[in-house]
A and B are shown apart, each in its own frame.
Chain A
Amino acid sequence: MQYKSQAVAKPYFIAAIGLFVGQILFGLIIGMQYVVGDFLFPEIPFNVARMVHTNLLIVWLLFGFMGAAYYLVPEESERELVSPGLAILMFWVFLIAGALTVLGYLLVPYSGLAEMTGNSVLPTMGREFLEQPTITKAGIVVVALAFLYNVGLTILKGRKTVVSLVLLIGLAGLAVLFLFSFYNPDNLAKDKFYWWWVVHLWVEGVWELILGSILAFVLIKTTGVDREVIEKWLYVIIAMTLITGIIGTGHHYYWIGTPDYWQWWGSIFSALEPIPFFMMTVFAFNMVNRRRRNHPNKAAVLWALGTAVMAFLGAGVWGFLHTLAPVNYYTHGSQITAAHGHMAFYGAYVMIVLTMISYAMPMLRGRSAANSEASQVLEMWSFWLMTVSMVFITLFLTGAGILQTYLQRYSSDPLPFMVVQEKISLFYWMREVAGLMFLIGLVVYVASFFVGSRQPEATAVVEGSAA
């Protein structure tokens, strides 16, 4: 660790991992409710558990992004953070607000939570992923502004690199677009249209800038490839992201009361959205192949390569699968969507946060570059367990989705929703088993932080030639 203030990243990463565990436990609950319908009913109804599952995901990824920024920005800017104290204060504000919100979901009926928090003053609740009470949303804005002030000023006062600039554009975009979560008109078409300005323009827009920037940072550090080369790649990748992704929003505007021309705009541009992800894969493998040194943190390099591959598969390939309007007409809002959502979020955003944690955590815990061999071996086991499990979760949901689409939408004698759900329950059982495997992988991941702490650091294998 080159700068003292980078240490503020550590609590952010620990909170991220803790909430990740919570997210997976609730994922297993709702996976079970898919097949045993009355599981935990009426104490924890499906809608509550799902809300906890998705909201924890968003919150822990935000913790991860913020931790990543606090670690990365001082090193890129070659100076201490403007205010480490503010970063720690905001950590506690965000953690407590997040914990209170989740407790509210679990302990109070949702309508009661809406009443308690004065939703009628400025109604923003009850829309997918934006279920947080309005006051929680206001808290998120406060935390985001304090965070942007802190990293923004640090960047402006220090060395300006492409990596930190792209990160800042991504984070600023994240904060600005979140403001659309306060716009909730009675007109459902308008509500849905602008809801996507938060959801789509986050995950298929500005979050990809954050992803690209973190990936570029880790690759610079672990491969020793010239910064100029990596920054050129970064620019091209994020250029393609926004060129395809902004109009690509149109793939959500096919069936929600918006003009039919969105079927053309959305299909064409979102069909191009895999390109930046494919470039990211080529980029990551290229840089690792051209490495000037072997970094002793092999686990971090594995996570970085894994991110590039899984983001392309989950976001790129599984996204393309159902993005063309004539296909989407049948698959819209089916288990195909769920399959894509799972692998895309895991491959792109979960894995990039885990990449950064893998790279930074050894230094934050006092190592000079890497964990011990034993710890890394365990971490790499967790990589494979979680990643392979997620591939199977995705495949089982895809199988369920294809059958659902056929039986309920495509065949000449369409069956009712619940009849179809029962017919495809085998796939939901298999998904739940894969989910349990994922949990085992996560336990191994957490264990890797506690194993081999007293053993010496792993050292890089010296190769014959340093080509």
Chain B
Amino acid sequence: MSQAFTKAMARNIFYGGSVFFMLLFLALTFDTHTAWPQRDNHENLTEQVAHGKRLWEENNCIGCHTLLGEGAYFAPELGNAFKRLGGADGIKGFIASRPKDGIPGRRSMPQFNFSEDDLNAIAAFLKYVSEMNTASWPPNIQG
């Protein structure tokens, strides 16, 4: 780099630029908070949904599935699973019917032995997720 461009100038760009864009990021974060009520489906965030989210976490579902495209890519996207599997009954039936020892030669979901309450909570959580405004993602029902 040329001599006219000094180390002090480079340092100032680093500190100035970083602080400026950090502040801009915080401003956008603040604005996002004000915009969320219209998009995040919080009005349907019930106790049951929160319980479902805890079950989702404590069984490490994200270790195989994606949820709104984030997670592992081993098993289907679940952000729209409520719609794809035809509602709560479809979801509960699928989870409950997984064979304990898997399916020979194929990827299979473990049998988690959930109670009826737990299954309802998971279905409620996936319903809540499916009703968030995700800018029309995923592109189609296959996720």
Contacts and interface: CB of A to CB of B under 8 A. Distances in A.
Interface of A: 30, 33-34, 36-38, 41-42, 45-48, 50-51, 110-111, 114-115, 119-120, 123, 125-128, 131, 162, 184, 186-190, 192-193, 228-229, 231-233, 235-236, 238-239, 242-243, 246-247, 249-250, 252-260, 262-263, 265, 329-330, 332-335, 337-338, 408-410, 414-418, 421
Given A48-B63, A257-B39, A38 B18 contact: no
Contact of B137 (A236, A255, A416): A255
Contact of B63 (A51, A114, A187, A249): A51
B60 A193 contact: no
Given A46-B74, A192-B70, A232 B140 contact: no
Q: Which 9 A-B pairs have the closest CB atoms?
A: A47-B63, A126-B57, A333-B69, A37-B107, A255-B137, A235-B10, A239-B14, A417-B76, A332-B69
A243 B21 contact: yes
B110 A45 contact: yes
Interface string B1-45: 100011100110110011001101100110110011001111001
Interface of B: 1, 5-7, 10-11, 13-14, 17-18, 21-22, 24-25, 28-29, 31-32, 35-36, 39-42, 45, 49-50, 53-54, 56-64, 66-77, 100-108, 110, 112, 128-129, 132-135, 137-143
Nearest to A325: B135
Contact of B139 (A239, A259, A329): A329
Contact of B5 (A50, A232, A333, A418): A232
A243 B17 contact: yes
B36 A416 contact: no
Contact of B106 (A38, A45, A190, A231): A38
Contact of A409 (B5, B49, B105, B139): B139
Given A123-B57, A236-B14, A417-B76, 5 more contacts: A37-B108, A41-B108, A187-B36, A189-B132, A229-B1
A332 B17 contact: no
Contacts of B28: 247, 250, 262, 265
B68 A192 contact: yes
A162 B6 CA distance: 14
Contact of A333 (B49, B71, B102): B71
Contact of B129 (A188, A193, A332, A410): A188
A41 B133 CA distance: 36
A333 B77 contact: yes
B108 A236 contact: no
Nearest to B29: A193
21 contacts: A41-B110, A126-B59, A127-B62, A128-B72, A186-B45, A186-B49, A189-B36, A190-B36, A190-B40, A236-B1, A239-B17, A242-B21, A243-B21, A249-B25, A257-B133, A257-B134, A258-B39, A333-B70, A416-B142, A417-B76, A417-B77
Contacts of A229: 1
A37 B106 contact: yes
Contacts of B132: 188-189, 256-257
A259 B39 contact: yes
B74 A34 contact: yes
A263 B135 contact: yes
Contacts of B58: 110-111, 114-115, 119, 123, 125-126
Contacts of A417: 75-77, 142-143
Given A46-B72, A111-B59, A190-B40, A247 B102 contact: no
A123 to B, nearest CB: 6
A238 B14 contact: yes
B138 A409 contact: yes
B25 A128 contact: no
B13 A256 contact: no
Query: Which of A246, A249, A257 has the largest number of chain B CB atoms within 10 A?
Result: A257
Contacts of B60: 47-48, 51, 110, 125-126, 131
Query: Which of B22, B104, B137 has the largest number of chain A CB atoms within 10 A?
Result: B137
B70 to A, nearest CB: 6
Contacts of A247: 21, 24-25, 28
